[in-house]
Each structure stands twice: as structure tokens, then as C-alpha cells.
């Protein structure tokens, strides 16, 4: 059967095509609290001493990092010999509107990190933060470095334009509009509905839907392509609302005032200064990322106190470059090599400053 016939056949059968399995790498729940869980992917043959904790975005499902067999970062890392953990943020209920930024970024991530780190001999874990999960990981590492062996951030915004210099991204510009009343939004809805946030992301690239449709028709002859396409679509339409109080702080302090880059943000009352991060740091940005500009991600390596720091700018977009077939060749080996080369580092904390008496 030629490609034209396969294309017509597959497009005609889309409505009854079996659902693609997502997030199926075997894992066990090793901690659960409120709506979130810490999953440990079942090790196969551990080669490395230091566990890896994956911190996904707070408003997306964790299984983007375990998309489907053959296109799963988690599966690939397990097969490579890493001990891999991931935070599944779950679905916030109405009562979670009062969860603060400190609750999530300090207490929740702190407990997940301590639990994962306990599986390694040094009591530390490598931390990988993706998108907003990377921003949370950076802030946590700046305040609670004790259990962080290294910090690896993929498409993670750190500098939010404005007072930090540089040109605002569209998201940054929109959040600074006087007509965007974040307090009224949170007061009215409690948790910020995922539909509102998804609409904003769609407006970043208004022709994305049409582009996807053209790409789908063009490649519909390939079952492998269709399975990957439908898996990503399943994930991208399975979004999570943002706990209200946490969102209020995120927009007002991080986006509008750029407090993280300015060095004025505090987590649980403790200054979250990037220069306090001394562990190995690896920041990755993507050329066609419409959500996180390269300058925003690169600000991490520009400002941390670590001497072991690298910024890597790669082709691709915000999602595709992380979960595509090409990612297994282009991106994932770089992550594993970064951790492997630092597997025995103890990353001792810098000496405490002298206290005047």
C-alpha cells in the first residue's frame, strides 16, 4: 500500500484509533501528600550512585517526561542505569486555592528531594527542572542547597525582562498590562482555571492549530508519527489549574517585579539569591521556544555562584525538543553524561560567613 492510501486510511480511522498509552514506565509511589505524589521508576540495573529527581511544571502532567514507550525520558534514563524519581503534582481541588508559593516550592519540593536523596549514599540528588518546574527548582536550590547534588534546568525561565533588562517576551508583556488584574482573577476563581492559561499559550502562536493539522495530514501515512502526535496531544490537553495563592505570588513577584533575577525574592522568609547556588549547573534553552526565551533561561548560568556551569542552546521548540524522537539522540545523552561525570561529587557547601560578635 502506498503512502497516499495509508494516509487516507489512517485519517479515516482516527476517530476509532486506539488510545496511545502514556506514562506507562513502571513506577511505585514512595511518598504521597495532599494531591501530589513522588514516584520512583523501578530500577533495572543501577550504574550511578546519585538519584535523579525530575520536577515538571506545576500546571502540566508529569508524564510529558514519560510520554510513551520509545519516547520517554524517564524510560531512557532508567535503561541507562539512573535511579529516577518524578513529582506528580496531581489535580488541585477548590481547597488548594490557599496553597502558597512557600508550600509548594519549599515544603513540597523539599520533602520530595529529601525522600529521593535518601536512596543515594551521599544524601543528595541531581535535580532536573522543566519549564516552571525548573524555576521552582532554582528557587529551592538557592535557599535549601543541602540535598542538591546538581541543578539541571530545561527551558526554565529565570529572568523575566523588565527591570532585569532585555526585551519582554509576549507572556511577560501580557502579565504587565494594567488590565490584567491578577488579584481579582484569583479572588474570583480561587485556582486559576487551566483553560485560561492554555488560551494564553495558544495565543503565543495563533496559527499552531492550522500548522498541526497540515503536519498531521502530511505525515498521516506513518503509524509511528501518528502515535507520537496523539500522545503529545493527549498530554497538551490534559492540563492542571494553578493554586490561587501560589499563582498570585508567581505573577506579582516573579513575572511583574522580576524578583528572582533582581535578587529580592524570598522563600519562606529566606532570600533566594542565585549567587548562593554553588552546585554544578546546566541550563538548556531552545531556538524556537515561544514560551521561554533563551535569555531568560541563560540568566541562570550568568548569575549563579557555581564555577561548574554550562548553558546549551539547541534547535527545537519548548516541548518537541524534549520528547521527540530526535531528543533521544540530541538531548537525553547530554543529561545523562552531565550526571555521570559528576556522580561522585560531594558538592560541599561553601564555608559559612564569619559572624561578628
Report the CATH number at residue 116. Answer: 3.40.50.1820
Give the pLDDT of residue 2. Answer: 72
pLDDT in tens, 114-165: 999 999 999 999 999 999 999 999 999 999 999 999 999 999 999 987 434 4
Give the pLDDT of residue 247. Answer: 97
Please report which confidence band the pLDDT of residue 1 belongs to, taking 50, 70 and 90 as the band edges.
low
Please report which confidence band the pLDDT of residue 344 belongs to, taking 50, 70 and 90 as the band edges.
low
Residue 28 has pLDDT above 80, yes or no: yes
Please report which confidence band the pLDDT of residue 346 belongs to, taking 50, 70 and 90 as the band edges.
very low
Residue 171 has pLDDT above 90, yes or no: no
Is 72 contained in some domain? yes
Is 355 contained in some domain? no
pLDDT in tens, 237-265: 899 999 999 999 999 999 999 999 999 99
The torsion of the CA quartet 334, 335, 338, 342, rounded to 10 degrees, works out to -150
Is 301 contained in some domain? yes
Give the pLDDT of residue 310. Answer: 97
C-alpha 64/C-alpha 235 separation (Å) is 7
Is 122 contained in some domain? yes
Give the chain's domain count. 1
Give the pLDDT of residue 3. Answer: 79
Check: CB of residue 42 under 8 Å from CB of residue 26: yes
Check: CB of residue 125 under 8 Å from CB of residue 113: yes
Residue 353 has pLDDT above 50, yes or no: no
Is 356 contained in some domain? no
Q: Which has the minimum average pLDDT: 52-66, 122-136, 276-290, 331-345?
A: 331-345
Is 172 contained in some domain? yes
Q: DSSP 3-state assignment of 53?
A: strand
Interior angle at CA 38, CA 130 and CA 297, nearest 5: 10
Residues with Cβ within 8 Å of residue 95, at least 6 apart in sequence: none
* pTM score of the predicted model: 0.90
Residue 19 has pLDDT above 90, yes or no: no
Helix (H) or strand (E) holding 314: strand 309-314
C-alpha 318/C-alpha 208 separation (Å) is 13
Furthest-apart CA atoms within the chain: distance in Å: 84
Is 271 contained in some domain? yes
H runs (alpha helix) in the chain: 3-12, 73-80, 101-102, 109-117, 132-143, 170-175, 182-189, 194-204, 208-219, 223-236, 244-249, 259-262, 294-303, 320-323, 327-330, 332-340
pLDDT in tens, 83-99: 999 999 999 999 999 99
Q: How many CB atoms lie within 10 A of CB 249?
A: 18
- Give the three cell numbers for residue 175: 502579565
C-alpha 64/C-alpha 50 separation (Å) is 23
Residue 65 has pLDDT above 50, yes or no: yes
Give Cα 113 distance to the centre of its chain: 15
Give the pLDDT of residue 348. Answer: 35
The catalytic residue positions are 131, 289, 318
Give the pLDDT of residue 350. Answer: 41
Mean of the per-residue pLDDT values for the chain?
Answer: 90
Is 352 contained in some domain? no
Domain coverage including residue 314: 3-340
Please report which confidence band the pLDDT of residue 267 belongs to, taking 50, 70 and 90 as the band edges.
very high
Amino acid at each position: 500500500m502506498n503512502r497516499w492510501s495509508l494516509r487516507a486510511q489512517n485519517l479515516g480511522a482516527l476517530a476509532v484509533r486506539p488510545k496511545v498509552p502514556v506514562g506507562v514506565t513502571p513506577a511505585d509511589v514512595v511518598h504521597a501528600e495532599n494531591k501530589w505524589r513522588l514516584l520512583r521508576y523501578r530500577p533495572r540495573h543501577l550504574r550511578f550512585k546519585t538519584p535523579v529527581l525530575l520536577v515538571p511544571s506545576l500546571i502540566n502532567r508529569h508524564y510529558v517526561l514519560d510520554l510513551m514507550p520509545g519516547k520517554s525520558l524517564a524510560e531512557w534514563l532508567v535503561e541507562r542505569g539512573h535511579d529516577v524519581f518524578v513529582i506528580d503534582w496531581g489535580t488541585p481541588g477548590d481547597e488548594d486555592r490557599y496553597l502558597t508559593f512557600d508550600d509548594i516550592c519549599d515544603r513540597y519540593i523539599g520533602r520530595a528531594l529529601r525522600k529521593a536523596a535518601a536512596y543515594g549514599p551521599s544524601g543528595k540528588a541531581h535535580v532536573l527542572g522543566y519549564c516552571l518546574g525548573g524555576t521552582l527548582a532554582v528557587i529551592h536550590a538557592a535557599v535549601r542547597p543541602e540535598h542538591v547534588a546538581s541543578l539541571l534546568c530545561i527551558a526554565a525561565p529565570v529572568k523575566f525582562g523588565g527591570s532585569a533588562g532585555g526585551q519582554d517576551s509576549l507572556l511577560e508583556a501580557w502579565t504587565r498590562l494594567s488590565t490584567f488584574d491578577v488579584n481579582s482573577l484569583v479572588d474570583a476563581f480561587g485556582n486559576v482555571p487551566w483553560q485560561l492559561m492554555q488560551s494564553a499559550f495558544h495565543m503565543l502562536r495563533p496559527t499552531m492549530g492550522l500548522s498541526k493539522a497540515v503536519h498531521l495530514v502530511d505525515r498521516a501515512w506513518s503509524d509511528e508519527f501518528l502515535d507520537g502526535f496523539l500522545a503529545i496531544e493527549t498530554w497538551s490537553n490534559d492540563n492542571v489549574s494553578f493554586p490561587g495563592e501560589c499563582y498570585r505570588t508567581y505573577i506579582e513577584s516573579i513575572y511583574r517585579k522580576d524578583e528572582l533575577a533582581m535578587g529580592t525574592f524570598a522563600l519562606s522568609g529566606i532570600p533566594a539569591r542565585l549567587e548562593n547556588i554553588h552546585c554544578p549547573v546546566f541550563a538548556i534553552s531552545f531556538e524556537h521556544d515561544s514560551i521561554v526565551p533563551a535569555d531568560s533561561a541563560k540568566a541562570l548560568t550568568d548569575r549563579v555562584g557555581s564555577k561548574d556551569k554550562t548553558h546549551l542552546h539547541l534547535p527545537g521548540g519548548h516541548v518537541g525538543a524534549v520528547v521527540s524522537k530526535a531528543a533521544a539522540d540530541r538531548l537525553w545523552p547530554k543529561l545523562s553524561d552531565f550526571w555521570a561525570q559528576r556522580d561522585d561529587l560531594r558538592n560541599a557547601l561553601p564555608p559559612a560567613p564569619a559572624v561578628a560578635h
